[in-house]
Amino acid sequence: MYTTQMDAAKKGIITDQMRIVAEKEKMDAEVLRGLVAEGKVAIPANKNHSSLNPEGIGQGLRTKINVNLGVSKDCYDINLELAKAKKAIELKAEAIMDLSCYGKTQEFRRNLVEMSSAMIGTVPMYDAVGMLDKDLKDITVDEFFAVVERHAEDGVDFMTIHCGMNRATAERVKRNKRLTNIVSRGGSLLFAWMELNNQENPFYEYYDRLLDICEKYDVTLSLGDACRPGSINDSTDPAQIEELITLGELTKRAWARNVQVMIEGPGHMALNEIAANMLLEKKLCHGAPFYVLGPIVTDIAPGYDHITSAIGGAIAAANGADFLCYVTPAEHLRLPNLDDMKEGIIAARIAAHAADIAKGIAGAREWDNQMSAARADVDFPRMIELAIDPEKARMYRAESAPECEDTCTMCGKMCPMKNMKKILNGEDLSII
């Protein structure tokens, strides 16, 4: 008998979830079990999420991506958010985070868990204000934990909770001026609650109470980075590093209770800092899976932050990050729509795949080699079939029809692929 995936792994038990993940990853199940036992791989799988098709996150595995969605007071359309979730699963996102902060959040969350084969994550802090319908200052410690338990009971596989931003780190933020202060929504709410009530962060002070809930339902604890940089100016500063040290300490305490852990990271960060930050996180947090938002590598591109984050995400994952949170073109501007979401997912998947090639993940290069072979054969139907976004590739092909079917309108009869194939086959060549 076991309580969590980590508990089973430590006892030498290979669970059904481990077998499924091992098969997907082309990895020996016993090797995977060992990584789960060490905390270097997490398999978020709430006992109440019956529709889950499990995935692993961590060392030696494919880089996974997460999609954020959820209702807000300004954009309250549950049906649209469920449509986004279905599209995200269709586009092969491995995880969906429900960031709902207004209205019938539990109804939406339960529907999402019921229909989703992807992992579901939440940030209970967002829901506390909306669900309890109370001013932030007046929410009690017991009420915070009641919201966490409700999310766990509803089947959420992982929860982002900002446990590492204690009073000491809050003082560090105040002493070391940032351009963008605290940009984490959950982190800023906790900071405000602590300041308004002159109390310690309840999720830090009563951390064992949180672990009780996670262990009971096998919820993976995604240790949130309240002090993640919100601009490239603020990256790798004292507050970010102090919080990371605390997260490393909390990781060991969670593992001692057989609770799986992921560590959340930046944020906005210049290209030349990313590799060092990945190494620092893995060292300070004992090899726990690392989950990054971006990093966004320049602050000047609103409307294009799916690109700025994909650049940073590819570098981060190639240097050790295990899980990328997508960023859409609407980041910093508004709630994303379906088209924004698709752009963000494809950008994140490209970044993840590029990193998997660099990391030598089993089977990663094979996909690229198949595409290259199709190009050498001038086989456009096969190229479209292999494309990461076949719909867009098919649309572009249809929009500009070439004179010859086995070329495109860029090169026409001068197509090097077609001509090299002919010459090497000993065929005659005419480009007139």
What CATH number should be reported for the domain holding residue 67?
A: 3.20.20.540
Q: What does the alpha-carbon distance between residue 116 and residue 325 come to, in Å, rounded to a whole number?
A: 18
In a domain, 21, yes or no: no
Tell whether the model's pLDDT for residue 378 goes beyond 80. yes
In a domain, 7, yes or no: no
pLDDT value of position 131:
77
- Quick one: which of 258, 247, 248 has its CA closest to 212? 258
Q: What does the alpha-carbon distance between residue 334 and residue 275 come to, in Å, rounded to a whole number?
A: 30
Q: What does the alpha-carbon distance between residue 151 and residue 173 come to, in Å, rounded to a whole number?
A: 30
- Span 423-432, average pLDDT: 82
Q: 193 and 267 share a domain?
A: yes
pLDDT value of position 405:
81
Q: 319 and 417 share a domain?
A: no
The structure's pTM equals: 0.95
Q: What percent of the chain has pLDDT over 70?
A: 100
pLDDT value of position 351:
98
Q: 190 and 84 share a domain?
A: yes
Dihedral angle of Cα 60, 62, 67, 68, to the nearest 10 degrees: 10
Q: 89 and 164 share a domain?
A: yes
- pLDDT category at 112 given cuts 50, 70, 90 is very high
**Tens of pLDDT, residues 292-314:** 999 999 999 999 999 999 999 99
Q: 266 and 412 share a domain?
A: no
pLDDT value of position 78:
87
Query: In the 3-class helix/strand/coil scheme, how is 162-207 assigned residue by residue?
Result: CCCCCHHHHHHHHHCCCCCCCCCHHHHHHHHHHHHHCCCCHHHHCH
Q: What does the alpha-carbon distance between residue 403 and residue 130 come to, in Å, rounded to a whole number?
A: 59
In a domain, 204, yes or no: yes
Tell whether the model's pLDDT for residue 416 goes beyond 90. no
pLDDT value of position 74:
82
Give the phi and the psi of residue 41 in degrees, each rounded to 5: -130, 135
Q: 348 and 386 share a domain?
A: no
Q: Residue type for 252, please?
A: K
In a domain, 69, yes or no: yes
pLDDT value of position 230:
97
DSSP assignment of 294-360 equals TTB--SS-TT-HHHHHHHHHHHHHHTT--EEE---TTTTTS---HHHHHHHHHHHHHHHHHHHHHHT
Distances (CA, A) of 16 to 31, 89, 175, 212: 15, 22, 49, 24
pLDDT value of position 133:
80
Q: What does the alpha-carbon distance between residue 42 and residue 265 come to, in Å, rounded to a whole number?
A: 16
**Tens of pLDDT, residues 230-271:** 999 999 999 999 999 999 999 999 999 999 999 999 999 999
Q: 123 and 162 share a domain?
A: yes
**Tens of pLDDT, residues 80-99:** 999 999 999 999 999 999 99
Packing angle between helix 167-175 and helix 185-197, nearest 10 degrees? 100
Tell whether the model's pLDDT for residue 25 goes beyond 80. yes
Packing angle between helix 78-90 and helix 338-359, nearest 10 degrees? 30
pLDDT value of position 119:
98
Q: What percent of the chain has pLDDT over 90?
A: 85
- pLDDT category at 32 given cuts 50, 70, 90 is very high
Number of domains comprising the chain: 2
Q: 353 and 384 share a domain?
A: no
Q: 287 and 405 share a domain?
A: no
Mean pLDDT of the chain: 95
Q: 420 and 321 share a domain?
A: no
Tell whether the model's pLDDT for residue 329 goes beyond 90. yes
DSSP H/E element including 42: strand 41-42
The string over 260-292, giving b where at least 16 C-beta atoms fall within 10 Å of a residue's C-beta and e elsewhere, is bbbbbbbbbbbeebbeebbebbbebbbbbbbbb
**Tens of pLDDT, residues 158-209:** 999 999 999 999 999 999 999 999 999 999 999 999 999 999 999 999 999 9
Q: 338 and 389 share a domain?
A: no
Determine which of 3-7, 123-127, 375-379, 404-408 has the lowest per-residue pLDDT on average.
Answer: 404-408
pLDDT value of position 114:
97
Count how many Cα atoms sit within 13 Å of the Cα of residue 131 in the half-sphere of its side chain. 21
Angle, CA of 122, 241 and 277, to the nearest 5°: 85
In a domain, 263, yes or no: yes
**Tens of pLDDT, residues 56-85:** 999 999 999 999 998 888 878 888 999 999
Q: 351 and 418 share a domain?
A: no
Q: What does the alpha-carbon distance between residue 174 and residue 259 come to, in Å, rounded to a whole number?
A: 32
CB 242 within 8 A of CB 249: no
Distances (CA, A) of 146 to 79, 150, 175, 362, 432: 27, 6, 33, 42, 75
In a domain, 5, yes or no: no
Give me the sign of the Cα torsion angle 85, 121, 8, 248: positive
In a domain, 57, yes or no: yes
Tell whether the model's pLDDT for residue 109 goes beyond 90. yes
Range of the domain at 229: 44-359
